[in-house]
Amino acid sequence: MAKKIKINDEVIVRSGKYKGKKGKVKKIIDSKKAIVEGINLVKKNQKPNPNTQQSGGIIEKEQPISLSNLAIFNFDTQKLDRIGFTNKNGIKYRMFKSNKKLIK
């Protein structure tokens, strides 16, 4: 099954603590969750590691968010949108459902 949301897509959070916030997808995990830039930040205590010269302390880290809570952002309509698929010359493309424009 084709993925509707991919890496480097601009998305909006549809529900939860970060509802309405925009970010870019950095990583997809198990095709069910995604790590989005600047969304779902948590503070984590990091132990120092002298082998890698890593200092300890409290760091902010992005946690995964479910793909069902994300919607792709359409720059033409400036709103969130749904994704459909179309075939052109035997190649499958993703497209926005509202204006049928192909997603790059």
On whether the CB atoms of residues 96 and 42 are closer than 8 A, the answer is no
**Residue 103 included in any domain:** no
- Domain total of the chain: 1
pLDDT tens-digit series, residues 41-89 = 999 999 999 999 989 999 999 999 999 999 999 999 999 999 999 999 9
pTM, to two decimals:
0.80
CATH of the domain at 61: 2.30.30.30
**Residue 101 included in any domain:** no
Q: Please, which residues have CB within 8 angstroms of residue 87's CB and are 6 or more apart in sequence?
A: 93
Q: Please, which residues have CB within 8 angstroms of residue 73's CB and are 6 or more apart in sequence?
A: 10, 11, 12, 22, 79, 80, 81
The whole-angstrom separation of Cα 52 and Cα 45 is 17
**Residue 84 included in any domain:** yes
Percent of the chain at pLDDT above 90?
89
